[in-house]
Chains A and B, each alone.
Chain A
Amino acid sequence: MTKIGLEIHCQLTKLESKLFCPCKANYREHEINANVCPICMGLPGTLPRLNQKAIEKATIIAMALNCTTPEKIAFFRKNYFYPDLPKNFQITQLNIYGDTSVGGSGMIMVGDKKIRITRIQLEEDPGRLIYEGSSSKNQITLVDYNRAGTPLVEIVTEPDFETPKQVREFLNILSDLLENLNVSDPSLEGAMRADANVSIEGGNKVEIKNIGSFHDLEKAVHFEITRQNSLHSRDIPIVQETRHWDDKRKITISSRSKEEELDYRYFLEGDIPWIKIGKEVREKLKSEMPESISSKKERYVTKYGIPDQVADVLSSDKFYSDLFDKSQTGNNAKEIANIITTDLMGLVDTREKREESKLQPSHLKDLADEIQSGKLTRSSAKNALYEIVKNGKELSQIVSDLDLGNVSDEDELLKIIKQIISEEPQAVEQAKSNPQTINFLVGKVMQKTKGKADPKLTLDLLKKEIG
């Protein structure tokens, strides 16, 4: 019986400011140590100033994961020394005096498997360390506090996972969920990190830390299961410990540090009173929550008749579902879904491309209209889309600039067809005997017209001409 549990840390990158001070929550654009203030640097005499929206966003996450949310929440200090920790304690949440973290006892479905969420807590991220110096003599640790104080939500699961694949699926679902809730952008570097714990056959639990990516997490868990099974089969007991994932050697290594058991001396953070999140507040937050992914999918399938797999892609990606919902008018829903999931996808498959894209929902509407009314072929639409994403011009402008209008005038088309027929005598002969191969000629016509020929009309005329 393999049991895997996860501890996921997710930065609330959609907040403007840090958890306890008004420095920027998303530190990535700043020069070293330029996104700091006396509070997040832990200067003497400073006090934490709690960010109201951080609590709201964390509560929304708890609700989306079907957790119970308490009337009052509290903050605690976790005391230990480390160079990335400006106060040498972390302000975090615990449940030692009743339920006082933002959420608990939740669950989420991963396929058919129910994964229980133990608790959700708000805490601050430490700073970042880099190591300089080659020899052990001149080694120095360099500290950048830009990230110190960034709001983090820690999501802890019960050890309900049975396979690394399930873990990976869950992480994908969670990423999409967090993005959909507009609390975090998981694609930002370092925005989502996870640790795992693994046990087999009811044995000791081993924690794995220092996992850089979700891809590595799957590998690390897989390695650890293998390692434990190997030990077990040789009757060697599995030690309860913390292991580090070594990315270079792709193994987990025991991290028996000189620190021994760290005692964190947890106690209530005296600078932050308990915060009352009354019933009305929680109800308001719930009513203002963005529509869930599953609800969107359901709506796309039943209301607009979007095929299941297409609806999956649309609903699980906030960028796409926003575009879809803002551009569709019911009649054009299928077409828009089609455009997004076939033509658009390749043009906006990275965060940079999406940030630079000039596409607006109105563009999609126009495109769908033109396609549905037969004025633009799918091929031309694809070309137009490329231009729209690049420079955001109106569709009508692009169509005239690039002469993308359908060639649906019969005479004109006939002229081109006759030309192709004369250019491709062999293909014509083949088409006479094997009607399937006429598509080659259709393709040639499309090539000649730069994709603007109406395909159905072309096919009809070709057939007539060839006989």
Chain B
Amino acid sequence: MNLKISGLEYIEEVKNGNISAEDFVSATIDRIKNIDEKLHAFLQVNSKAVEQARDIDKKIKSGKKVGSCFGMPISIKDNICIKHSKTTCASKMLEKFIAPYDATVITKLKEQDAVFVGKANLDEFAMGLTTEFSAYGPSRNPWNTDYVPGGSSGGSAVSVSAFECVASLGSDTGGSVRNPASFCSAVGYKPTYGLISRYGLVSYANSIEQIGPVTRTVKDAAFLLNILSGLDPNDNTTIDGGGQDYLSEIDSGIEGKKIGIIQEMMSEGIDPAVLAATNDAVSKLEGLGAVCENVSIDMVKYSVASYYTITATEAGSNLARYDNLRYGYDFPVEGFEFNSYISKARSKFGPEVIRRMILGGFVPSSGHAGKYFLKSLKVKSKLTNEVNEAFKKYDFLIAPTVPILPFKIGEKIDDPIALFLVDINTVMSNLTGIPSISVPYALSNGLPIGIQLLAKHNHDKSLLKVARALETTVRLPEVPI
């Protein structure tokens, strides 16, 4: 069974009767059994996946209406709630938590007859860039298993790029979908803020995060966006995307489009191979009819500080509910006084989460809020204005997704500031709410490099077009696993 096909190809094959959903999903589960011990993309595998695929085959045979996914195997980052399933957020704090409801994105995928093959590994509570902060062990980059797969949606990117599933849902707060997609040579999409409902996504930084698909092709991302986007009464921050079909006219090309090359993301500390790849991508886009120019967005310099201040504040508040009273892990309350119980119970958080929570208690506190938190909100605002200015002149913006190549597991884990700066190219899209995508572009010594494209707020449809155009210029080798 050839697992190395895209989602749309899979659907065609099943529709044409060339393959059955059961056979494909069964082969997928076998693949997971064979290689996941090495890669650790999954925290849980769905033991009923094959059975569910079989039911979908029955539906197809009986002529009943079948959802547009036709049993496509999809992995779900373990911070997204699936009813009756463990949802741990890769944390010991939620070791025993079983979600009593489905996230909206899960409901929508279920309606379209997707099959969930398992829950994907992540940095604990989505805080991290390498998946090394998972309380259940890191995931490994399938291109070189000594290297990090990126994060926080590491498991999602690994499972897609290693053919352990066809697509995955991750979450992107500061690059957590695009960064691992880039490191693993997959497509990673972060939609306009509010396009996809966050109901059922365990909150980390709720004012800027979005659920986003990790896929093999740009068209697959568009296909999933069609299913997942839309106003949701369960999430007051969702917006009306205009009911567009994100797949239609995706090949219409970019003739005459103006693309701005973000200078602040091409300078200090950039790996020469990444710089070369980006310049190459720019010339390819020019070859397709686009006009590319340098553009400066000054606030990018302050975006990392602003991002970490804001997210630490929100995380400190969003994670306050984990007091182990209503859900969590086994730790009886008898014999304890309130404050000491809560503090002790919460010591099960990993060190990165604890650092962020301490930061999050500090930066908005009454003595310090003006200097840090409020100033960060102002940087966010000014950055948004600068980006809007840029979009008056340009249709799209371009930059490398990550300024450096994937690095070895353990290499940066003790240096928080170094880790911060891995995010410098991706946080802008979250802070401003604009959509962005990472397209796999090149390899350097076998390590993947992704190129990031950004568009104006709620211009996801055009973004997918330019990403598709860039994708057509690339032919990458297969993952060596």
Residues of A with Cβ closer than 8 Å to B? Answer: 38, 41-50, 77, 79, 81, 83, 86-89, 137-138, 140-141, 143, 258, 263, 265-268, 270-273
Contact = CB atoms under 8 A, between A and B. Distances in A.
Contacts of B206: 47, 270-271
Given A79-B317, A81-B342, A140-B333, A47 B235 contact: yes
A44 B87 contact: yes
A45 B203 contact: yes
Contacts of A89: 317, 320
Interface of B: 79-81, 87, 89, 94, 97, 99-101, 103, 198-203, 205-207, 233-237, 313-314, 316-317, 320-323, 325-327, 333-335, 338-339, 342, 361, 364-366, 369, 373
B233 A44 contact: no
Contacts of A137: 335
B324 to A, nearest CB: 11
B338 A141 contact: yes
A49 B361 CA distance: 26
A-side interface mostly? loop
Nearest to B199: A47
A38 B327 CA distance: 12
A48 B321 CA distance: 14
A267 B376 CA distance: 12
Contacts of B316: 79, 265
Given A137-B335, A140-B334, A265-B361, A81 B323 contact: yes
B366 A267 contact: no
Contacts of B236: 47-50, 271-273
B321 A86 contact: yes
19 contacts: A38-B100, A42-B321, A42-B326, A43-B101, A45-B200, A47-B234, A49-B233, A49-B234, A86-B321, A87-B321, A88-B323, A263-B365, A265-B317, A265-B369, A267-B313, A267-B364, A270-B205, A270-B237, A273-B236
Given A89-B320, A140-B333, A45 B99 contact: yes
A141 B341 CA distance: 12
B89 A44 contact: yes
B198 A47 contact: yes
A49 B232 CA distance: 10
B209 to A, nearest CB: 10
A143 B203 contact: no
A140 B317 CA distance: 26
Nearest to B194: A273
B321 A38 contact: no
B333 to A, nearest CB: 7
B200 to A, nearest CB: 5
A44 B97 contact: yes
A145 to B, nearest CB: 8
A263 B366 contact: yes
A10 B234 CA distance: 27
Nearest to A268: B207
Residue of B94, B236, B334 with highest tally of chain A CB at under 10 A: B236
A93 to B, nearest CB: 16
Given A44-B89, A47-B234, A265 B202 contact: no
